[in-house]
Amino acid sequence: MASLHITPPHDGLFTDSDELDIFPTPPYSSSASDSERTIQTAPVTPHNEASESEEEPSPCTHFLYRSDYLEINLGRKLWGLSLSAYGFTDIVDGTVKLRKECTHVVRLTATLEGKVKVTAVSRGVVDEMTSLTTVYETIDIPILDTSRGPYYLTEQLYYFAIPLPNRIQGGTLPLPPSYAAWNPGVSCEVSYTLKIDAYRKGLLRRHEEKIVPLLYLPKTWPSRPPFHGNITHGGDTIKTIHLIPSFPSDAVRRKTVNVPTVELSLPAASTMTSGFHIPLKLVINCSEAPALSALLYQHVDLKVVKRTRAWVKGDRFAGGRDIILGSAVALETDTFQEGRVICRYELKVGELGKEQSWRVEGAIDVSYVVKISIRPPYSSTNLPSYSHVEVLTVATEPWGTYERELRQFGASAPAVGLNNAGRELRPTHSMDW
């Protein structure tokens, strides 16, 4: 991300005093004008310092989950989602209230659980299934007042907080986001739940529990700044790939005509931000037969593809799907040198904040590739074709925004754009399952 440079004023140029004369300071008032809105009239009060004068939480404004015995409050609805959502390094916190009927409770626990499930179906019957646990954490919710006996009081708020881990339980891979995809023959799901257990004393008093679904939508960031500059003269920041020609098995190769050479140049950094425009340069050279370069250039197909792969039992491939996120746009074409075509493209990596590379070993892999294909017309059976696949790692956020977000909020907000990830895998938007 480019830094902000402030240039001091010079003699005879526009100065700060001139700016004050032209743009006077606007009047300030404690009340909002007709074109303004008041966002926050009072400082945010933590749960444990909330006053009794606050309005009663309602299902319209809070994530409230009630049963005959328990009431769980996971806080305000901030992100316009149907479930309570959490981001990277976030904390699942809230309150539990025992209703009047839930008496003689001697232990109260909160459990955070994450699971990955891949199911393979054959002829309507489950063939094989893989189920993995990504996180499992249980905490005891303490009694606030032990002077009244060993039981938890009814109609009393009890607070809990469970930090979300960064890695999969027992592994090194990052914790995957909430995800759901389905298709005839295979389904994939990454789910997170919060379970509250109330253990009651007495033979006639049963154990009470309430399970609440959650959304984990972690943001990710590139480890290096994005490419800025000229794709033609990028030096070490540019990677050039020589595409290998491929001839049909029955093609007649003429030794008197040189085979066209094709080179693709793109940024060397393999991690891109979702929504970033990748600059590309394609060079087709055939000095012996200039017409071939012009012919092949007209049949270039450059696109970015999202690949989803699923396995069951760790090693059996259950299914996969490729989704085209976008095709390259030609910006400039240079044909001044005979037999040599240079074309510069721009390729957008999906929409901002909606794409992310992630995987769970032996279960699900979501990846992205830049795919180039050059195929001559069907009538030109003796000409070679070219293809190449370059793997990308896609992050949801721009480089350098992680530290800024931590300084401002102390944690990372959810990547709300990932909530639509499962919808993209419907058959009407897919190919090659």
The rounded percent of the chain whose pLDDT value lies above 70 is 82
Residue 148 lies in a domain: yes
The count of structural domains within the chain is 2
292 belongs to a structural domain: yes
Q: Are residues 171 and 71 in the same domain?
A: yes
- pLDDT higher than threshold 50 for residue 348: yes
Looking at every residue in the chain, the average pLDDT score rounds to 82
* 186 and 241 belong to one structural domain: no
Q: Say which CATH number the domain at 241 has.
A: 2.60.40.640
pLDDT given for residue 227 in this prediction: 84
State whether 355 and 328 are in the same domain.
Answer: yes
Q: Output the pTM of the full model.
A: 0.80
Per-residue pLDDT of 178-233, as tens digits, reads: 999 887 788 999 999 999 999 998 766 788 899 999 999 999 999 888 888 778 77
Question: Are residues 76 and 179 both part of a single domain?
Answer: yes
Q: Which tokens is 300 given?
A: 């270039």
Same domain, 253 and 201: no
pLDDT in tens, 244-298: 999 877 555 554 457 899 999 999 888 999 999 999 999 999 988 888 898 999 9
Kind plus residue range of the DSSP H or E element containing 409: helix 401-409
Question: Do 178 and 209 reside in the same domain of the chain?
Answer: yes
Residue 283 is predicted with a pLDDT of 96
| Mean pLDDT confidence for 395-400 | 92
Is position 45 within any domain? no
Same domain, 197 and 314: no
Domain range enclosing 366: 235-411
CB within 8 A of 199, min separation 6: which ones? Answer: 105, 106, 107, 108, 109, 207
The answer to whether position 15 is within a domain reads no
Rounded to the nearest 10°, the torsion over CA 142, 144, 145, 148 is: -60
In a domain, 30, yes or no: no
Per residue in 10-47, pLDDT (tens digit) is 443 333 444 344 344 556 666 665 545 555 544 444 44
By the 8 A CB rule, do 217 and 419 touch?
yes
Percentage of the chain lying above the pLDDT 90 cut: 52
196 phi, psi to nearest 5 deg: -105, 125
* 35 inside domain: no
Q: Is 205 contained in some domain?
A: yes
> 262 and 203, same structural domain?
no
Same-domain pairing of 94 and 190 = yes
Are residues 294 and 167 both part of a single domain?
no
The phi, psi pair for 417, rounded to 5°, reads -60, -25
Look at residue 53 and tell me whether its pLDDT is greater than 80: no
Residue 130 sits in a domain of what CATH number? 2.60.40.840
Q: Which token pair is 147?
A: 């002077």
Shared domain for 176 and 266, answered yes or no, is: no
pLDDT tens sequence across 298-329: 999 999 999 999 999 878 888 888 999 999 99
Is position 173 within any domain? yes
> If phi over 0 gives left and psi between -120 and 50 gives alpha, with beta otherwise, what is residue 100?
alpha
245 plus 165 within the same structural domain? no
